[in-house]
Amino acid sequence: MGAILFFQAFGAYFLLIEDEFGWSKALLAGAFSLARLESGMLGPLQGWMIDRYGPRAVIRWGLVIFGLALIGFSQIESILEFYVYFFFIALGTSLGGFLSVTTALVNWFSKHRAKALAFSQLGFSFGGILVPVTIFSLETVGWRSTAVASGILVLIVAWPLTRIIDHRPEDIGEMPDGLPFEKPAGSTKSKHPTNPAADRRLDYTAREALRTRAFWFMALGHGTALVIIGAVMVHLILHLNGRLGYSLTTAGLVISLLTGTQIIGQICAGFLGDRFDKRLIVCGCMGFHAAAMILLAYAQSLWMIVGFAVLHGIAWGTRGPLMQAIRADYFGASNFGAIMGWSSLVVMMGMALGPLYAGYMADRTGSYVSAFATLAVFAVVGGVFFLLAKKPPQVSRGGEL
């Protein structure tokens, strides 16, 4: 819901708010960047909250904050109010979104983890496909009324859906991948444990994960990828509408195409990730990102924009779930929330810097060409980071940070 109601449509909100108040692109993008920094700093605490209270409770808190913040956002009259309400929107979507949902799934799936993570992210992509609906509302009734209606929708619809979320399968007498729960038979020294608790003793703690090179190379690669994602999320509609002259409706259709191909990427990730080296697939995705940004930077026709959308969408959709599956494969599921939380401190720096850099370059040069071309180089560097993120040796004990 966060995708369709706000973040995938943020560029359209951005454009209308810029027209109404006359604030600069860099100033508006700064709110998005600060919100991503907030999400990164929240990461370790959120990871601890998820591991301590379970994802259901954390998601519920996030949905309430998100819904109320959208309603408050509709009443802004100053840049300070814009930043304050954007902060709470980001806080709500962070608590109620990616990390919380991913942690639950990592605990519920082992053999088919890549597939589960890939299909879970289809919701974000379907939200992107429906962005034209939000844009139609923005053009028809205005951004303020759209924000109010979106906030009410979150509070009424999303909350009941959290009832289906459980933290770990053993909490309700099951095992990962839907297998029946079995107690170990015979010797307790069995080489292959038959219950989740035994398996979790082999997992890394957050402290142990932080000492591995794999943790840092994964975080740097992920952060580099989010430099690109953040810049595109904030500035794509502005580039298409303000710089290339396409209508908001056309820009919305481009986002729908992008997220449609993102779905294709997620489906491919689910099947490829459980069969082939996930790390090499992710490296290939960064190459797709690089090619996409070159097409976007130097676009001279709608077909080049279509090429960008296809490459960027497939790369994003494939890379996203596989990065989380790699972390779970490397470090285990027991402390996944805390490990991902600490990773967010690095990762969200990329999401924050991307929009700021693109906005600054657009204000300075009058176009996004330099910004998007530079992001293609970032994609190549990110691919190298992922290539260096080799699996660490297995530990023989577990614990908590």
Could you report the per-residue pLDDT of 242-271, keeping only the tens digit for each? 778 888 888 888 888 898 898 888 888 877
User: Rounded to the nearest 5°, which phi and psi values hold at 180?
Assistant: -70, 145
- Return the pLDDT at 307: 95
Residue 174, helix vs strand vs coil: strand
Write the DSSP string, 34-86: HHHHHHHHHHHHHHHHHHHH-HHHHHHHHHHHHHHHHHHHTT--SHHHHHHHH
- pLDDT > 90? residue 340: no
Q: Which of 61, 11, 18, 23 lies closest to 251 in space, CA to CA?
A: 11
Write the DSSP string, 193-229: --SHHHHHTTSPPHHHHHTSHHHHHHHHHHHHHHHHH
Q: Once rounded to an integer, what is the mean pLDDT over residues 45-60?
A: 79
Write the DSSP string, 300-319: -SHHHHHHHHHHHHHHHHHH
- pLDDT > 70? residue 277: yes
Instruction: Compute the distance between CA of residue 296 and CA of residue 372 in angstroms, rounded to an integer.
Output: 7
- Return the pLDDT at 205: 84
- pLDDT > 60? residue 161: yes
Contacts of 120 (CB under 8 A, 6+ apart): 101, 102, 105, 321
Percent of the chain with pLDDT over 70: 77
Which pLDDT band holds residue 347 (cuts at 50, 70, 90)? confident
- Return the pLDDT at 114: 64
- Return the pLDDT at 306: 94
Residue owning tokens 């009058």? 366
Mean of per-residue pLDDT scores for the chain: 79
- Return the pLDDT at 170: 61
Sign for the pseudo-dihedral over CA of 99, 100, 106, 107: positive
Q: Once rounded to an integer, what is the mean pLDDT over residues 16-28?
A: 81
More confident residue, 381 or 41: 381
Q: Which of 47, 395, 342, 400 lies closest to 199 in space, CA to CA?
A: 395
Residue 180, helix vs strand vs coil: strand
Q: Do residues 368 and 358 make contact, with C-beta atoms less than 8 angstroms apart?
A: yes
Q: Once rounded to an integer, what is the mean pLDDT over residues 52-80?
A: 87
- Return the pLDDT at 120: 62
pTM of this prediction?
0.70
Q: Is 192 left (phi over 0), alpha (psi -120 to 50) or beta?
A: beta
Reported as a single tens digit per residue, the pLDDT across 302-314 is: 999 999 999 999 9
Residues listed for the chain: 401
- Return the pLDDT at 204: 82
Reported as a single tens digit per residue, the pLDDT across 163-222 is: 666 656 565 555 655 555 555 444 444 444 445 554 555 678 888 888 899 999 999 999
More confident residue, 322 or 185: 322
- Return the pLDDT at 273: 73
Q: Do residues 123 and 3 make contact, with C-beta atoms less than 8 angstroms apart?
A: yes
What domains are defined for the chain? 2-168+203-388 (1.20.1250.20)
